[in-house]
A and B are shown apart, each in its own frame.
Chain A
Amino acid sequence: MSLDWTFIADSLPLYLDAMWLTVELALIAIIVSMIIGLLFSLVLFYRIKYLSGFIVGYVELSRNTPLLVQLFFLYYGLPKIGLHLSEFDCAAIGLVFLGGSYMTEAFRSGIEAVSSSQLESGLSIGLSKVQLVRYVILPQAFAISIPSLGANAIFLLKETSIVGAIALMDLMNVAKDLIGMSYKTAESLILLVLAYLVLVLPLSLVLTWLERRVRHAEFGG
């Protein structure tokens, strides 16, 4: 079987557009969900009344429903109550809704891994609870959390592959359309896999490097 290189060359712009969409969605999802995760994990740490309960409920709802269902809810459900969001907004909100809970859990486990005697040590020099979090807990928790934060980032990047379900022209949708219209299945799929590799591999490598660096700085020899 030989590949149709003209077809590949002609399809490239479509894939590049879709890659850009994927990058945009993934960046929003990763950055916003990390901010949410950090804030929510602190609310859980401080055991803030009512808010903590709300967050526990959110985490369970978000982690125990598929992203596809969440997207359908946003895209087809919300208009029923008069709220019309664009496809892109729905996808971004859906990914953030999903990622926020995973990031919350990643930060929470890091915070909980900082030993209680470290907290007492910080208290014993008169630090306030906010200072304790900022200077003692978060730097240590962040180093512990980096592997799971990184795994979540990659997970979110890959999860963008289902936003085609709400009519966005992402990589999956482009490949599906090209196969449907031209029957160039092999070419379309090869481009699809390569496109994801080009996106995910660098992120993966950067995260591995970051993980090593932080480990070395904090606890290494």
Chain B
Amino acid sequence: MSENTEILLEVENLQKFFGDRHVLNGISLQVKRGEVTVILGPSGCGKSTLLRCLNGLEPVQGGTIHYLGQNLTGEHVNWREIRQHIGMVFQNYELFPHMTVIENILLGPLKAQKRDSKEALQQAETLLDRVGLLARKNDYPRQLSGGQKQRIAIVRALCMNPDIILFDEVTASLDPEMVREVLDVILGLANQGMTMLIVTHEMGFARSVGDRIVFMDQGKICEIADPEQFFTEPATERAQQFLNIFEYNKL
């Protein structure tokens, strides 16, 4: 784990506006290879927007994002190429409804990456097997439960062999009993050293999977802390208030 100090993503003073609203106000963040960063914060604090900026789904109005030294905020960024290295999993799965599970997974590897179909298929099946869904490879998304769909969406991102995967509230649309199966997959990835940025509202999960917690509020990073530190003794009052909301036993 000696090379784990390589910086994959470097965000500096990122600025993002939706009309008059200042959604991201001076975000600076570094992501090292193999690191699991969990982003927490109240609704509307800009955490999902931050992820979307990192994948080029939202234009930014100021600051810089560097991926392995390459500037992603300049002119003529080849997002097609970048997105093959920075994968994303969405809240509502967003599988393609007209394709089977295996077609969903192979679309990127075959069409965007132009990989050998045998090799890609083999990898897809290995990954499907690992999330326990190999038997469903010829099913359509509509035949699957929410948790299964989300596991497929994770496999779809993984099969691109990305350097980083961004998880945007991936359990927020799931029934409670399906949250676990999805979180287990992500936890497994963390143990294998996958670099991930995770936006979530699952506090217990954040604590166990995160190498560090980034707490955001009103478009700013309030604090960056080790999970144990953050959940026991948060440095800022804002984080303390936020955590209190989740302490139902104190009601």
Contact = CB atoms under 8 A, between A and B. Distances in A.
Contacts of A120: 57, 90, 94
B160 A126 contact: yes
Contacts of A117: 90, 92, 94
A116 to B, nearest CB: 10
Interface in B102-141: 107-108, 111-113
Contacts of A123: 56-57, 79, 83
Nearest to B89: A124
Interface in A73-88: none
A128 B80 contact: yes
Given A120-B57, A123-B57, A219-B142, A131 B112 contact: yes
Nearest to A214: B98
B88 A127 contact: no
B52 to A, nearest CB: 8
A48 to B, nearest CB: 20
Contacts of A136: 96
B117 to A, nearest CB: 15
A118 B87 CA distance: 15
Contacts, number: 66
Contacts of B95: 121
Interface in B44-98: 55-57, 79-81, 83-84, 87-88, 90, 92, 94-98
Interface in B176-209: none
B212 interface: no
B156 interface: yes
A123 B98 CA distance: 17
A72 B111 CA distance: 49
A159 B90 CA distance: 47
Nearest to B159: A125
A128 B112 contact: yes
A139 interface: yes
B98 to A, nearest CB: 5
Contact of B98 (A122, A131, A139): A139
Contact of B97 (A135, A219, A221): A219
Interface in B154-175: 156-157, 160
A99 B68 CA distance: 52
Contact of A126 (B57, B84, B92, B96): B84
B94 A125 contact: no
A140 interface: yes
A143 interface: yes
A177 interface: no
Contacts of B113: 126
A168 B79 CA distance: 56
Contacts of A220: 142
A221 B87 CA distance: 30
27 contacts: A117-B90, A117-B92, A118-B94, A120-B57, A121-B94, A122-B96, A123-B79, A124-B90, A125-B84, A125-B107, A125-B156, A126-B81, A126-B112, A127-B80, A127-B107, A127-B108, A127-B112, A128-B112, A131-B111, A135-B96, A135-B107, A139-B98, A140-B98, A217-B98, A218-B97, A219-B142, A220-B142
